Amino acid sequence: MTKSWLIASNNPGKSRDLAQCLAYYGIVAQPYYEVAPRLDFPAETTTSYIENAKAKAKFAAQQLQQPVIADDSGIEIPAQPTAYGVTTARDLGQTTSGFDRNQALITTMAGVPDDQRQAVMRATLAAAWPDGRVVTTQAMIQGYLAHHQIGRYSGGFDRLFWLPHFGRTLAELPDIWRVPLTHRGHAAAQLQAQLLGQKG
């Protein structure tokens, strides 16, 4: 199995979280921009997490000539059926801070009753090699949207994503509990299993 990876993302927060999730399952990865000049990734589609992740991973693997892992993720909200999902970053602003994205969601969901605040976070990971090989995994987590941002252990949507079973948001859980519960954590676990069967 490949010993080390580069993360194909220009988003420091996503890169940090993904590296942490991968490390939990024994996959060593670091942001590509720590060792190479920044890349201009292909434009994302509006229809497919898998195609977006594969396109980023294959592009970066060819440009860097090293194995890379890319992520495409989003939040899906049944009460807002025409927004978010695969277009989450575009709908909420790709350069908008996680705090401000959350505040925008809080405003959008104002007045929605607790039992209608369901949400799903999805993650797709694509691992690519310079020789053209690609493997992908997908995972999800279900929960509810809190009315306020809560938690200090992580950022982004974790501060809004309420897990009824724990009575807390993801961001209120220490990493040792949080990581295996997250959408990226589940996807990283699946990816680790797939990579064990790969040569090189």
Q: 40-44, 97-101, 183-187: which has the minimum mean pLDDT?
A: 97-101
Domains along the sequence of the chain with CATH: 4-195 (3.90.950.10)
Using one digit for the tens of pLDDT, what is the confidence trace for 124-138? Answer: 999 999 999 999 999
Catalytic option among 72, 114, 115, 175? 72
| Nearest-angstrom CA–CA distance, 103 and 128 | 35
Q: What is the DSSP letter of 57?
A: H
Q: Which structure tokens are listed for 32?
A: 């590509």
What is the pLDDT, as a whole number, of residue 25? 96
Q: What letters, b where the CB count within 10 A reaches 16 and e where it falls short, cover 150-174?
A: bbebbbbbbbbbbbeeeebbbbbbe
C-alpha angle 5/9/14, rounded to 5°? 95
Instruction: State yes or no: pLDDT of 188 exceeds 60.
Output: yes
Using one digit for the tens of pLDDT, what is the confidence trace for 17-50? Answer: 999 999 999 999 999 999 999 999 988 776 899 9
DSSP H or E run through 31: strand 28-31
User: Cα separations (Å) of 88 from 61, 84, 114, 162?
Assistant: 25, 4, 22, 18
C-alpha angle 123/124/128, rounded to 5°? 145
- Backbone φ, ψ for residue 23 (5° rounding): -60, -35
| Nearest-angstrom CA–CA distance, 167 and 142 | 14
| 72 given a catalytic annotation | yes
